[in-house]
Amino acid sequence: MAEIYKLIHPLKYFTDYISREVRPDGRKFDEQRNIKLNVNSLKTAEASAVVKCGNTTVVCGIQLELATPKAEEPDLGYLVTNLELPALCSPKYRPGPPSDHAQVTNYLVSDIITNSKCINLKDLCIVPDKLAWVLYCDIVCLDNDGSLVDACIIALMASLKTLCLPSVTYDNDTEDIKVNADIRTPLKVHGLPVATSFAVYKLPDRNILLTDPSAYEEEMCGGIGANFIVCSNEGLLCGTQKFGGSNLLSDSQEESLKISRDRTNVVKKVIETSIKNDNEFVS
């Protein structure tokens, strides 16, 4: 019966739930979905992570490559993120070249990583003007059930935290490059940026903030993806993006900042535990 009701009166179905202080999947407004994380799951990548936030599943793998730095920035390496949203992750995407949404989300993810300054690109340079590391971070979404940016950032950060760079010797005269894959140094990661997505739903008398929205909730709130994303790294905000959906009043902003602080702690714990478990498993 409920299913039919949902199809005939989609808006009323959703509003009935929200006005009774509960979301259609049974969560409270500020409740987030469980996070499951597994690091180093792909053996062909240098570092990798698989994350599940509720049903949203994202795989991230990092490949290393050597290249010459740009002439304008001779002492910087490269960090390239690439997000793939294949047709299998949601009926909204068609096979073919990357959709607008994939490009926008990819830009958001790489923007958060750059703004948070968690990776110093100078650390990726081996010999200025001659040789630098390129980190290709490929992120593939297997199942898109909302809050995609959050999951991408968790997967990416978990992979970066486990990444070890092989030692490289470069001969200035012969331009000979020797890579020793046995001696590895971990990449320095400064802090841990965490993104928290919200959907903003408008009831006649007030606005409701839904934490960690599912794809269905994002759609009902009128956005393509989440409406409001707060990112913070070590207590400093490194990006608050809001687009579409209902407008935001200042008290809901206070609330969102508080929720994002709590979530940062949870995500931090998840990543640390999962890396620790992986290390124990290896040794």
Residues that bind other proteins (CB under 8 A): 100, 103-104, 106-108, 111, 115-117, 223-224, 233, 235-245, 247-250, 253, 257
Report, in Å, the least distance between residue 149 CB and other proteins: 13
Measured from the CB atom, the residue of 41 and 114 that comes closer to other proteins is 114
Measured from the CB atom, the residue of 233 and 274 that comes closer to other proteins is 233
Measured from the CB atom, the residue of 151 and 226 that comes closer to other proteins is 226
Report, in Å, the least distance between residue 226 CB and other proteins: 12
DSSP 8-state code for residue 205? S
> Phi then psi for 254, rounded to 5 degrees?
-55, -45
d(CA 217, CA 225): 10
Centroid of chain to Cα 141: 11
CA torsion angle for 181, 186, 188, 190 (degrees, to 10)? 140
Measured from the CB atom, the residue of 242 and 268 that comes closer to other proteins is 242
Report, in Å, the least distance between residue 193 CB and other proteins: 10
Report, in Å, the least distance between residue 36 CB and other proteins: 29
Measured from the CB atom, the residue of 179 and 249 that comes closer to other proteins is 249
d(CA 215, CA 33): 13
N-to-C CA span, the chain: 54
Report, in Å, the least distance between residue 214 CB and other proteins: 20
DSSP 8-state code for residue 208? E
